Chain A
């Protein structure tokens, strides 16, 4: 399936940043962790996975406390428990939006007074974390910071569940727009000079009646403080964008084969293409086994479901000791047939989605639905092996 000599393994070896994206709940966090784990185990070097809201047990497996932005090395003992001797180091970090915002403010504030005023502003405390898709922006911002620190050979980035999969791609640009917006300046005008111009007066009058002057002043103060950091922000947003566009960065789109996530994945692939970003691989996660489509097995299932008594009688003729109750056997046989046919319906739907999706990427990895949740290094390795082999 991997044409032109490319594979997930090669991506992990050649790229410096792997951004894992896809719609909600498809397995982004798990996939990102699995990719980083096999990269650290097999390829060596220092590998960091930057995760967002991992399931508690997964976080625990990687030694991450619930909160905090600090990078932690995953205990090599966890690999040993899984019977592995990793060639490299696996590091993990979580994304703490609030703390990242505070760090940003500290970095960009022109002076201590502005910094403290912002951090203390009640509106800021409300806003940080909810501010114009701030989560998306912060994810990209942290990526930039970690990448430019040069401390890691490979960074695998998990992305937050966004309403639309592409939100976070546009977050840096939107953030820059936001701070350079003419509207913002217009909004602040009356608080800067006493001169309210004719154009904005009706707005302020309405706004006053609707929201109240005090609130408007709070908002204005907040944005004025933020404006002091404007240049730093815009520059930073552009730098973040450059990392995404860099040829050392690649995107891995994860999806299940259900209709909604698959639809979102198709859109995502289109957007990557139109933005000239590198689509490294498409991961089809939690896929039902292809055996469900097998012809002969379908015949068998149909027969079991249509004439379970006849089959039961025939089996018992040769194996009289199998069960005492032929009716019980017939019931089991019928269930077997029907269950196969039920799952086959889903598998067929998945096959259709796969046919449509499969053509959109050079590397397509298929990961079966594993029978347990993935919450330890051994599970991640198991999943990572599946991915790597594709």
Chain B
């Protein structure tokens, strides 16, 4: 996975896209790759996860080899115009920039191409060994990845059109670009992930792998499960409370909850595996109980990913 040069991390809302993108970036940087992590929706979750303070359009090095930036389509357009038209930075031409922003909102693919184009450009110019994108959620990522094709279909001439061909080549080269789908072992995330795998075909972008986030540890093996079943019998649990010196019924209740939760999640996981079919990379990241967020959590997730990848 880390051998590719551009990874789009996507998945249903709230499943852990930002967490996984940050962890992949951190892992790559620690393994010696010059890495850029980019947040596409500019919500600020990615810098928050890395405890990095404000991060803007200009990439900043957070620790050795780990760079972070936040996408800003207006800035991307300005950079693009400056590079290709040798126009002065557009900031003085306020209404012009605003009109573009406006156009970008209305016309399909324009915003997307400015996002994808900037990232692809960083890859093409070899500014980084790896670019990890905290991309749009599954509903919108296809539009993002298909943007160059969409623009190709709409535009027949013009500078933008000239740019789309190399982007398509770069995006559809499986050695270079891949999508990482983050899924939680729950009904909707699994369903959406499988649908996304189908839709990816229309983009020509390769699936690099699926990360199943928040997997619950297996509490009991079969023999243990039998013991547990006996322990919840009234006589046994009374004896246990006596031996412990405190009532254990709620501890037993919590274990039952954990077992059921895990069982439901395991069923969704099985459906995911089956739907994906053989030969796909599937990585598992455990539920973190101490802290679900912040840098320490990202480090833990990165370690889990490293173990899965090795």
User: Which residues of B (130-173) have their CB < 8 Å from a CB of A?
Assistant: 137, 139, 143, 150, 154-161
Q: Which chain B residues lie closer than 8 Å to A203 at the CB level?
A: 93, 95-96, 99
User: Complex formed: what's the CA distance from A331 to B225 in Å?
Assistant: 11
Q: Known: A123-B107, A161-B137. Contact between A300 and B247, CB under 8 A?
A: yes
Is there a chain A Cβ closer than 8 Å to B293's Cβ?
yes
Please determine whether B14 and A24 come into contact, CB atoms closer than 8 angstroms.
Answer: yes
Contact stretch, chosen from A38-46, A86-94, A124-132, A246-254: A124-132
Contact stretch, chosen from B30-38, B119-127, B196-204, B216-224: B216-224
A204-220: contact bitstring with B at CB < 8 Å (1 yes, 0 no)? 00111111111100110
- Interface size bracket, B side: 35 or more
Is there a chain B Cβ closer than 8 Å to A260's Cβ?
yes
Is there a chain B Cβ closer than 8 Å to A339's Cβ?
yes
Q: Which chain A residues lie closer than 8 Å to B248 at the CB level?
A: 297, 300, 304, 336
Contact stretch, chosen from A148-156, A180-188, A269-277, A377-385: A180-188
User: Complex formed: what's the CA distance from A260 to B105 in Å?
Assistant: 27
SS class, residues of chain B in contact with chain A: helix
Q: Which chain A residues lie closer than 8 Å to B224 at the CB level?
A: 328, 331-332, 335
User: Which residues of A (49-108) have their CB < 8 Å from a CB of B?
Assistant: 55-57
Is there a chain A Cβ closer than 8 Å to B253's Cβ?
yes
Contact stretch, chosen from A136-144, A233-241, A314-322, A357-365: A314-322
Is there a chain A Cβ closer than 8 Å to B79's Cβ?
no
Q: Known: A212-B157, A259-B293, A323-B227. Contact between A126 and B150, CB under 8 A?
A: yes
Partner of A318 from the list B12, B220, B242, B292 (CB cut-off 8 Å) is B242
Please determine whether A315 and B251 come into contact, CB atoms closer than 8 angstroms.
Answer: no
Contact stretch, chosen from B60-68, B231-239, B298-306: B231-239
B247-285: contact bitstring with A at CB < 8 Å (1 yes, 0 no)? 111111111011011001000000000000000000000
Instruction: How many A-B residue pairs have C-beta atoms within 8 angstroms? Tell me.
Output: 212
**Interface size in chain A (residues, C-beta < 8 A):** 80
Partner of B246 from the list A297, A319, A328 (CB cut-off 8 Å) is A297
Which positions in B face A, CB cutoff 8 Å?
12-15, 41, 43, 45, 81, 85, 87, 93, 95-96, 98-100, 102-103, 105-109, 137, 139, 143, 150, 154-161, 186-189, 191, 219-220, 223-224, 227-228, 230-231, 235-236, 239-255, 257-258, 260-261, 264, 289-290, 292-293
Is there a chain B Cβ closer than 8 Å to A340's Cβ?
yes
New A-B pairs, 17, CB < 8 Å, besides A132-B105, A203-B96, A297-B250: A24-B13, A25-B189, A55-B187, A126-B108, A184-B102, A186-B99, A288-B257, A303-B246, A304-B244, A315-B236, A319-B236, A322-B236, A329-B227, A332-B231, A335-B220, A339-B255, A340-B250
